[in-house]
Structure 1
Amino acid sequence: MLRKVSRVVLLDPYDRILLMHGYEPGDPTKEWWFTPGGGLEGDETRQEAALRELAEETGITEVELGPVLWHRTCSFPFDGRRWDQDEWYFLARTAQTDTNAEGQTELERRSVAGSRWWTSAELSTTRETVYPTRLAGLLRTLLDEGPPGAPVVLAPEIV
């Protein structure tokens, strides 16, 4: 069964995107960058999950949540199990650029090294692993053309 996940493409007033720096709890040399977000809890909506996860992971609560940009299914090993996810990526904007990790879960505290605001140019030239893997191009298109009229379905990613 696919885990329902909401992710946030959070942009600041300078069009920088906030990414989290994650790593495998048992092997900190396996690291990557990803957008804030996580699984739905109880009967909450995708929008509610996006805002809750963003607040828990980053402390950022002053956001304008926009439309769903992308849908993606993915499957990856993490913390000793396989995660199969149905992810929705929401556009959001904020002027609140200071972050804190006080609301992170125990697993997040064991697997997140922090966060960073990235410019589109930095994202396009990094050699670090970023998920979704096409994020640099997707962000550039978003900044150049605005949000799509309907969510774009991204190719599945299986790691």
Structure 2
Amino acid sequence: MSTGLPGEPTRRTVARVLPVSSEGRVLLLLGCDPAVPDVKYWFTIGGAADDGESLAVAGVRELREETGIAVDPSALGEPFGTFEVGFSWNGRAYVNDSTLFAVALEETPVSFDGLDHLESQSIFEARWWTPEELDDDGRAADPRLIDHMRAAIAHVRGGVQ
């Protein structure tokens, strides 16, 4: 999905998954850009869809690879939002067209065994957060993350916050 032009960002179609516990906490990952390892931030689980892969299938694949948690694609249901974000990662520019999914999931241990080599050097921790706790922490990857968390919680609760 690269533009193929030098200096142009690589555009990707991405599935992001926000697991939501019955206590209203969302599972996030703590990581960094490998090119800037001293700056750590919290972000949602997910990544680019492979060619021919549906967004739901991409989302559950990324959830399994990044956390060891396996769910059926049907558990994601309908997406609850979309957004576009431009960023740099490992010295390369990207633009992600992201689709957000929420899944009800009890707080469970996470495994990083499915991470590839570069991911294992850039993802350090997983934690269940309330939007208020993350807002107080101040290390969200994107200022929209708090709103995305609130929307995911409302989505799994059938629209009730």
User: Same fold per TM (> 0.5)?
Assistant: yes
Residue 35 of structure 1 corresponds to which residue in structure 2? Answer: 44
Deviation at 1:15, TM superposition (A): 1.6
Residue 157 of structure 1 corresponds to which residue in structure 2? Answer: none
Query: 2: CA distance between counterparts of 1:29 and 1:142?
Result: 29
Query: 1: CA distance between counterparts of 2:49 and 2:32?
Result: 22
Query: 2: CA distance between counterparts of 1:86 and 1:147?
Result: 25
Identity of aligned residues (%): 31
Residue 82 of structure 1 corresponds to which residue in structure 2? Answer: 93
Determine if contact 1:12/1:97 at 8 Å carries over to the other structure: no
How has the CA–CA distance of structure 1 residues 29 and 115 changed in structure 2, closer, same or farther, with 3 Å as cutoff? same
Residue 120 of structure 1 corresponds to which residue in structure 2? Answer: 131
Query: 1: CA distance between counterparts of 2:33 and 2:105?
Result: 29
The structure with the greater share of residues assigned to strand is 1
* TM-score, normalisation: structure 2: 0.81
5+ residue gaps in structure 1? 149-159
The CA RMSD over aligned residues, in Å, is: 2.0
How has the CA–CA distance of structure 1 residues 108 and 68 changed in structure 2, closer, same or farther, with 3 Å as cutoff? same
Determine if contact 1:23/1:112 at 8 Å carries over to the other structure: yes
Deviation at 1:70, TM superposition (A): 1.4
Deviation at 1:44, TM superposition (A): 0.8
Query: 2: CA distance between counterparts of 1:61 and 1:80?
Result: 31
5+ residue gaps in structure 2? 4-10
